[in-house]
Amino acid sequence: MTEFATKDKTYALDNGLRNRIKPGWQEMLKPAKGRLKAPLDPAGFVPAVMQAETDLFEFKGTMVNKRILEIGCNEGMRCQIMGKYEGATVHGIDVDEYTVNQSPDLNCWNPVDVDYVNETFHTMRTKIAKLFPLTKDKVTFETSDIVNYTPKNGQHDLIISWDTLEHLTDLPSAFNTMAKCLSSGDLSYHEYNPFFSINGGHSLCTLDFLYGHAILDKGDFERYIREIRPYEEKVDIYFYNKCLNRASMSDVRKGAEDAGFKVLHLDGVSSFGERTQSWTKRIKEEFLPEVNKVYPTVEVKDMLCNSVQLILEKT
């Protein structure tokens, strides 16, 4: 099929677009059993932690001597790196269902599959912990989502996440829980890949026309998958409905402020570099009107940035 039609418009499909926007997307279609392996080289994770510390310092924050909560800790590598800061303790939380929902060979209704993911992540975290003998008593993990999380040992002093905020489908409730975990003056730092960016559909929901994941409504998106990618139906539609929120920057700001946070920083760097001016014009004229039919709070800046940094202060 070379095009896809909605009631309003017909879109020409570019079969190579997905490869250009999300190189290596095919990895997500491999069975989870055998695909999930612990990364054993911290080098690729250190820059993000160092950048977060630099960004926090700009607002008189730090990881030093902090009780840190990492949301969406995955295999735990960043937890261990943060645990190396003087006086820091780190508690990482994540949910098994997120991995199950994006795995073609697993199902959330099957307790055996959920247990498999839980045990696999425990094994990965144990292997990674051996790389950091000095953090042995400083880093802990728990299976929990942030909405239902309750701190067991007092409050946290800092909440942090990478590539997670876009996956919190109940963002207002998530912000409410974060606020309950912190005291007045404490900071929360998040770096995330927003849904409305050019690659915001991630590997499973990036379509074959620009910004397609953001232009189509739920019904048309699901029909697109069933017509164009029927062999991906299970994982793509699950991921779209269960693993991605539709929060614009203004939605994020409102949710954080309603929960009792002051927004210190909410911005991203354009993904288009020297072509930002031309892409700003193109987004405004060609794509934004289509996106606003479904998501009226979206602005040009939501579609320019693949990475957004959010820094909050508990009031």
pLDDT tens, position by position, 219-251: 999 999 999 999 999 999 999 999 999 999 999
| DSSP run (H or E) holding 138 | none
- Please answer whether residues 205 and 289 qualify as being in contact, where contact means their C-beta atoms are separated by less than 8 angstroms: no
Q: How much is the pTM?
A: 0.95
pLDDT digits (tens, 9 = 90+) for 4-57: 999 999 999 999 999 999 999 999 999 888 888 889 899 999 999 999 999 999
- Please answer whether residues 304 and 275 qualify as being in contact, where contact means their C-beta atoms are separated by less than 8 angstroms: no
**If pLDDT is split at 50, 70 and 90, which confidence band does 199 have?**
very high
**Half-sphere exposure (CA, 13 Å, Cβ side) for 148?**
7
Vertex 164 angle, CA 162 and 165, to 5°: 110
DSSP type of residue 151? -
Q: What is the pLDDT of residue 153?
A: 66
CA of residue 181 relative to chain centroid, distance:
20
41: Cβ–Cβ under 8 A, 6 or more apart, which residues? Answer: none
Mean pLDDT of the chain: 95
Between 272 and 32, whose confidence is greater? 272
Strands 158-162 and 187-192: parallel
